[in-house]
């Protein structure tokens, strides 16, 4: 079961979820460390890839990039404004 965290400041999914869904991973040039809720860098969780997807809501469509985070454990986190 996947979970939604609507308090996130960006779009992110776990690397495990991205692979299960067979998303095409795009490698980024510079690794990005993720911050924990206490603002401390988490050196185990890195952003190494992104995926590009279309988000649909009723008649609205938006193409966006989502960060893929290593060792996140099947979490989809997003903050969207429609």
In a domain, 32, yes or no: yes
- The whole-angstrom separation of Cα 44 and Cα 53 is 25
CA dihedral 44, 48, 52, 57 (to 10 degrees): 20
In a domain, 82, yes or no: no
**How many domains are there within the chain?**
1
- CATH classification at residue 9: 2.40.70.10
pLDDT digits (tens, 9 = 90+) for 20-76: 889 999 999 988 887 777 778 877 778 889 999 898 989 999 998 988 887 766 555
* Long-range CB contact pairs, 55-59, < 8 A, 24+: 55/80, 57/82
Is the pTM for the entire model greater than 0.85? no
What is the span of the domain harbouring residue 41?
3-77
């Amino acid at each position: 079961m996947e979970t939604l965290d609507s308090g996130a400041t960006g779009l992110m999914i776990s690397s495990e979820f991205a692979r299960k869904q067979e998303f095409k991973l795009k490698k980024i040039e510079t690794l990005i460390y993720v911050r924990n809720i206490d603002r401390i860098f988490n050196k185990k969780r890195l952003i190494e890839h992104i995926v590009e997807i279309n988000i649909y809501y009723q008649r609205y469509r938006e193409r966006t990039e989502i960060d893929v985070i290593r060792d996140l454990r099947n979490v989809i986190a997003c903050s969207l404004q429609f």
